[in-house]
Structures are given as structure tokens and as C-alpha cells.
């Protein structure tokens, strides 16, 4: 009987998990994906190398091999997030030629809000600034400037088509700042503010606010005196 039990026990043991072989690039991507998931679920304090290693199925030293330290992993996550933000926002401005800046603004506003709230991006940036853990330089500088440059070029092109004076460059930058600050604020403390304004039981309020802001800024971003049915 004991021999039978022994044979059953041996046969019931699960097969050892196969080791997954990944390229260095794929390993970095998988680790960053796991870090982003923990960031979204637990905030910056959830980015712990031991936990991420367990999520991915690798050893703690393997993460250090790719990123050198927790700070290196966080910086790489910020860099990747910034690049994704840039591609997403500039993709709106690189739309069809007949798509005017006023019509683009609602999409630009919504995508900015989504990009900063997705996977805890704004909370990560806030944590880095408050704890003085940010990498050298400001990772969003190039993104903000490029978006302002593209947006201003579109406004100037629209003004030329209507034989109107070019809008002020600083005003375009203020529009970008307003969108970025509003999106950043919503991502960090939006739930508290919506509740304070009486929208705590209205899950559709954020969508309506983004739509309203996008339409308002879309109309304002047009050259003075120009009217269009796209408002």
C-alpha cells in the first residue's frame, strides 16, 4: 500500500516550470510593464524590486543587471512614460491636413488627461519631485515645448488661411500649460475635487469636464475674429 501511495505522490507532483528565455530588450520591457502595473495599483511605494522580480519570474539581481538600482528602474519608467506621452499627444497634432486646431483640441485635452492618469504617471512624477528623486533634468521639458511648437504652427497656419495676424506665441504656451496643469491636478487629486464640487456620485463627470474644457479651449485657440462651424 505504501508503495502505491508513493507512486501516486510522485506522479501527482507538478512539472517544474520552464525557464523563459528573453532578449535583454524584452526583459527590460517586461520588468517595466510589471513596475508600471504596480505603480498604477499601489503608487510609487509599490515599486519594490523583490516584488517586481517575483511578478516577472526572475531574480532580484536580474533587475539590478538591467537597471542597476531601484532609482534606475524608476528613471527608466519615467523616460518610457514620457516617450509614450509624447507619441500619443503629437499623434493628435499630426492628424489629417484638413483637421483644424479647434477640432483637435478636445482630443488633445482628453489624451493628455488619460496619459497622465494612466498607470499612475502623474503620481509618480509628483512623488519624484516631492522626494527629490527625479532624474537629472526635467523629463517633460521637451514634450511641452514640442507640443507648444506644433500647436502654435497649426494656429499660425490657420490664421494665414484666413489672412489674419498670427496669435501670440506665449498665449499658445499658456494654453498648453493650462491643459497640462488641469490634467496633472485631476490625476493626483481629481477624485477629491469632484466630490467637493458635488460630483462624487457622478462617474461621468470627468468625461463631461474634459469635453467642456476641450471645446472651450478649441474655440479660444482659433485666431481672434475667426468663426467656424467646427466649434
Q: What is the DSSP string of the chain?
A: -HHHHHHHHHHHSPPPPPPPP--HHHHHHHHHHHHHHHHHHH-GGG--HHHHHHHHTS-HHHHHHHHSSHHHHHHHHHHHHHHHHHHHHHHHHTS-TT--HHHHHHHHHHHHHHHHHGGGHHHHHHHHHHTT-PPSS-TTHHHHHHHHHHHHHHHHHHHHHTT-PPPPHHHHHHHHHHHHHHHHHHHHHHHHHHHHTT-TT-TTHHHHHHHHHHHHHHHHTSPTT---TT-
Query: How distant is the alpha carbon of residue 193 from its chain centre?
Result: 21
The pLDDT tens digits of the residues spanning 188-223 come to 889 999 999 999 899 999 999 999 999 998 888 766
pLDDT band at 135 (very low <50, low <70, confident <90, very high): low
Write b or e for each residue in 135-160: b if 16 or more Cβ atoms lie within 10 A of its Cβ, otherwise e.
eeeebbeebbeebbebbbebbbebbe
The pLDDT tens digits of the residues spanning 84-104 come to 777 877 776 665 444 566 677
Q: How far apart are CA 5 and CA 197, in angstroms?
A: 67
Domains belonging to the chain, first-starting first, are 20-68 (1.10.10), 81-224 (1.10.357)
pLDDT, residue 225, reads 43
The pLDDT tens digits of the residues spanning 8-39 come to 444 444 444 445 667 888 889 999 999 988 88
Look at 129 and 39; give whichever has higher pLDDT.
Answer: 39
Q: Using N-to-C axis directions, what is the helix angle for 169-196 and 205-220, rounded to 10°?
A: 160
Of the candidate ranges 25-39, 72-86, 126-140, 181-195, the one whose mean pLDDT is the lowest: 126-140
Amino acid at each position: 500500500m505504501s508503495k502505491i501511495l508513493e507512486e501516486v505522490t510522485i506522479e501527482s507532483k507538478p512539472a517544474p516550470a520552464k525557464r523563459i528565455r528573453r532578449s535583454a530588450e524584452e526583459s527590460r520591457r517586461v520588468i517595466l510593464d510589471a513596475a508600471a502595473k504596480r505603480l498604477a495599483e499601489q503608487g510609487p511605494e509599490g515599486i519594490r524590486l523583490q516584488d517586481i522580480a517575483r511578478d516577472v519570474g526572475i531574480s532580484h539581481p536580474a533587475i539590478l543587471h538591467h537597471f542597476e538600482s531601484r532609482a534606475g528602474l524608476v528613471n527608466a519608467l519615467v523616460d518610457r512614460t514620457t516617450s509614450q506621452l509624447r507619441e500619443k499627444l503629437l499623434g493628435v497634432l499630426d492628424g489629417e491636413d484638413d483637421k483644424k486646431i479647434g477640432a483637435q483640441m478636445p482630443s488633445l485635452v482628453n489624451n493628455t488627461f488619460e496619459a497622465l492618469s494612466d498607470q499612475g504617471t502623474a503620481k509618480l512624477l509628483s512623488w519624484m519631485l516631492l522626494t527629490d528623486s527625479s532624474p537629472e533634468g526635467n523629463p517633460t521639458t521637451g514634450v511641452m515645448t514640442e507640443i507648444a511648437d506644433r500647436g502654435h504652427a497649426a494656429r499660425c497656419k490657420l490664421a494665414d488661411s484666413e489672412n489674419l495676424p498670427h496669435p501670440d506665441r506665449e498665449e499658445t504656451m499658456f494654453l498648453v500649460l493650462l491643459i497640462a496643469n488641469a490634467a496633472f491636478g485631476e490625476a493626483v487629486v481629481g477624485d477629491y475635487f469632484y466630490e467637493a464640487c458635488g460630483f462624487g456620485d457622478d462617474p461621468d463627470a470627468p468625461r463631461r469636464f474634459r469635453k467642456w474644457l476641450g471645446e472651450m479651449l478649441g474655440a479660444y485657440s482659433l485666431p481672434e475674429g475667426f468663426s467656424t462651424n467646427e466649434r
